Amino acid sequence: MSEQTAEAPKERPDHQRWNYNIHSMSPLLGTIPDAARTALDVGCGEGYLARRLAARGLEVTGIDADPAAIARARAQGHTVELLTSTEEEPAESPSITYKVGDAMTADLGTYDVVTASAVLHHLDLEQGLARLRDLVAPGGRLLVVGMARSNWPQDLPRDVWATFVDKFHRLFRGYWDHGCDCTWPAPHSFADVRDAAPRIVPGSVYTRDLLWRYTLTWDRPAS
């Protein structure tokens, strides 16, 4: 499915925003370890995911190569409008630092949580995944939501069913466009990601989501 079919960007409060990336990332945020204190959102765009991480009481750094996207993120401040029964009010005010830069080369250190939503298809798959791996601190967790090409004909039945589910979501939720540049078609397939993950992040969990996304989670050993 082409990402170019999404609506034009709309100003919506965070709690009203929905798209494929949000749909796939939301369950992963519930797996963040209680001991986590710092987070890095790679390719943060206008800051939606960074704000969600801050809502969990994490000290967040968001990095993106697009200065316009970072400007929009900073303009929205650190307001958290997403709190639900599974997201408790943080003990302290949310902390987010936004940086304009290339996450592949910037001096970033390591973090307890590293997130990347719709980022890997902008990079060389293996180099990008290795870089995300290296940004995770010992005992930390990597959370990836990615876009990839379907492997046809075997994926055709899944994609047909996904179009019906997509229409249902759009009817009741709408589709929020983050307004950032999107590379499409993706340069790699779902099968490429599935095959690369065990080599680069051994022990990771790869899951193919219905709505044209995959998730990848990985825990760096504590020592």
Rounded Cα distance, 56 and 86, in Å? 10
Contact assessment for residue 38 and residue 113, using Cβ atoms and an 8 Å cutoff? yes
Range of the domain at 160: 3-219
pTM more than 0.85: no
Give the pLDDT mean for 127-133. Answer: 98
CATH code for the domain of 110: 3.40.50.150
Using one digit for the tens of pLDDT, what is the confidence trace for 5-56?
343 344 666 666 667 788 899 999 999 999 999 999 999 998 999 999 999 9
Two tokens, residue 119: 């980022």
Statement: residue 131 has pLDDT above 50: yes
Nearest to 221 by CA among 144, 133, 107, 104: 133
Statement: residue 83 has pLDDT above 70: no
Rounded Cα distance, 40 and 37, in Å? 11
Contact assessment for residue 36 and residue 215, using Cβ atoms and an 8 Å cutoff? no
Nearest to 116 by CA among 215, 194, 1: 215
Count of structural domains, the chain: 1
Cβ contacts of residue 123 below 8 Å, gap of 6+?
104, 131
Q: For residue 189, which phi and psi values (nearest 5 degrees)?
A: -100, 170
Using one digit for the tens of pLDDT, what is the confidence trace for 92-128?
456 899 999 999 999 999 999 999 999 999 999 999 9
Rounded Cα distance, 51 and 117, in Å? 14
